[in-house]
């Protein structure tokens, strides 16, 4: 951690951090990420310089978002898949977007015992979700962490959603492929589709396809395949595959990863991967603009003193939201 009383890194400190990150030094990688996650304005300024310097070394990794309902086996899947990938020679970074970290101050991913193999693997790096005031803030910090890890030579990013809801959209908007994990025999096999989750997915994978569950997993996969025919695919160039696998035995993981690589190759060949990343970059920019505006409002003592009355006037109908915005911007001198 960077102590609260620590001075902002000097220009020479940034140079050392950049060199250390690009050399893959884990201690300096962790220090760079901590700097990026800091809420101090001087640290944020230094982090922006750091990320800008690292930018030419980013963009080469495969970015895979992974989501699924509680109990689906996300952690076991990431542990097994990540370990399979490091055995193939990849360097794997595991990140998380956890909206609850804004309230709790950290992610449950911090308990690395959930990923026992990867946490002891020298070719893997696991980072808990940052704590931030908003989901947008959490996502922004995670994106910067992803870029820093890419610059450090990690060529596979596995970004986990913690919980369900908006975090899924946030992760889909920062990755190349979005993988939805499902359970067999969970009652209504199509509940994921009802929530709109599957419409974000580039692949559906049914976990726990082993032992007595094997037949149920195959049946669930068949239902998803049938249902996908009535939905508009996320990409016109990609038919969403449905696979079965077992994170416990490892069966099906190789086939799952083959589909990830096939998706990457298809999206690259059609130009859609480059287009998606360009769109994401612009979205990231506007997301950070919004987050910085919120931070500016929260840090202005004159405005924060006026906000309770402005909010009360809007709530009681004495003041229109549009006029309230004018008053907020006037207080900021905008």
Question: Got the DSSP string for 157-213?
Answer: EEEEE-SSSHHHHHHHTT-SEEEEEE-TT-S-TTHHHHTTHHHH-SEEEE---SGGG
Give SS3 for 39.
coil
| 146-170 exposure pattern, b = at least 16 Cβ within 10 A, e = fewer | bbbbbbbbbebbbbbbbbeeebbeb
Integer Cα distance of 169 and 200 in angstroms: 8
Provide the residue-wise pLDDT of the chain in tens; the chain has 334 residues.
454 446 678 888 999 999 999 999 999 999 999 999 888 889 989 999 999 999 999 999 999 999 887 888 999 999 999 999 999 999 999 998 876 655 444 444 444 567 889 999 999 999 987 765 567 677 888 899 999 999 999 999 999 987 556 788 888 899 999 999 988 875 554 555 545 676 789 999 999 999 988 999 999 899 888 888 777 778 889 999 999 999 999 999 999 999 999 999 999 999 999 999 999 999 989 888 888 888 888 888 888 899 999 999 999 999 999 999 999 998 888 8
N-to-C CA span, the chain? 36
170, 42 in Cβ contact below 8 A?
A: no
Distance CA 71, CA 168 (A): 16
Strands in the chain per DSSP E = 62-68, 92-97, 124-126, 156-161, 177-182, 203-206, 242-244
H or E, element range at 36 = helix 26-37
Closest among 201, 189, 161, 183 to 244, alpha carbons compared: 183
d(CA 37, CA 98): 14
Q: Return the SS3 of 56.
A: helix
Which parts of 44-91 are beta strand (E)? 62-68
DSSP reduced 3-state for 18: helix
- Domain boundaries defined on the chain: 1-56, 58-269, 284-332
Task: Indicate the pTM of the whole model.
Answer: 0.87
CATH of region 1-56, choose from 3.40.50.720, 1.20.5.170, 1.10.40.60, 3.20.20.70: 1.20.5.170
> CATH assignment of 58-269?
3.40.50.300
Residues forming a β-bridge with 95:
159
DSSP-assigned beta bridge partners for residue 161: 97
Q: Give the pLDDT confidence score for residue 108 in this predicted structure.
A: 45
């Amino acid at each position: 951690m960077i102590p609260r009383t620590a001075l902002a890194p000097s220009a020479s400190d940034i140079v050392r951090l950049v060199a250390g990150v690009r050399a893959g030094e884990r201690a300096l990688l962790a220090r760079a990420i901590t700097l990026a996650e800091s809420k101090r304005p001087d640290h944020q300024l230094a982090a922006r310089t750091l990320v800008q310097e690292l930018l030419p070394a980013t963009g080469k990794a495969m970015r895979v978002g992974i989501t699924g309902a509680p109990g689906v086996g996300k952690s076991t899947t990431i542990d097994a898949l990540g370990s399979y990938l490091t055995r193939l020679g990849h360097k794997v970074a595991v990140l998380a977007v956890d909206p609850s970290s804004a309230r709790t101050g950290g992610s449950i991913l911090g308990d690395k015992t959930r990923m026992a193999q990867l946490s002891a693997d020298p070719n893997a790096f696991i980072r808990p979700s940052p704590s931030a005031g908003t989901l947008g803030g959490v996502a922004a910090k995670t994106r910067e962490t992803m870029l820093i890890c890419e610059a450090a030579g990690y060529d596979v990013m596995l970004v986990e959603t913690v919980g369900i809801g908006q975090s899924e959209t946030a992760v889909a908007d920062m990755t190349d492929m979005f993988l939805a994990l499902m359970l067999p025999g969970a009652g209504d096999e199509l509940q994921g589709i009802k929530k709109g989750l599957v419409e974000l997915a580039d692949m559906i994978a049914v976990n726990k396809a082993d032992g007595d569950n094997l037949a149920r997993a195959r049946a669930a996969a068949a239902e998803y395949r049938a249902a996908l025919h009535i939905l508009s695919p996320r990409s016109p160039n990609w038919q969403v595959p449905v696979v079965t696998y077992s994170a416990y035995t490892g069966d099906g993981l190789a086939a799952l990863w083959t589909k990830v690589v096939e998706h990457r190759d298809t999206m690259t060949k059609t130009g859609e991967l480059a287009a998606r990343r360009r769109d994401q970059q612009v979205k990231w920019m506007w997301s950070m603009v919004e987050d910085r505006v919120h931070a500016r409002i929260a840090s202005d003592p004159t405005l924060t003193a006026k906000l309770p009355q402005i909010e009360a006037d809007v709530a009681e109908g004495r003041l229109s939201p549009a006029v309230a915005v004018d008053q907020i911007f006037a207080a900021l001198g905008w």
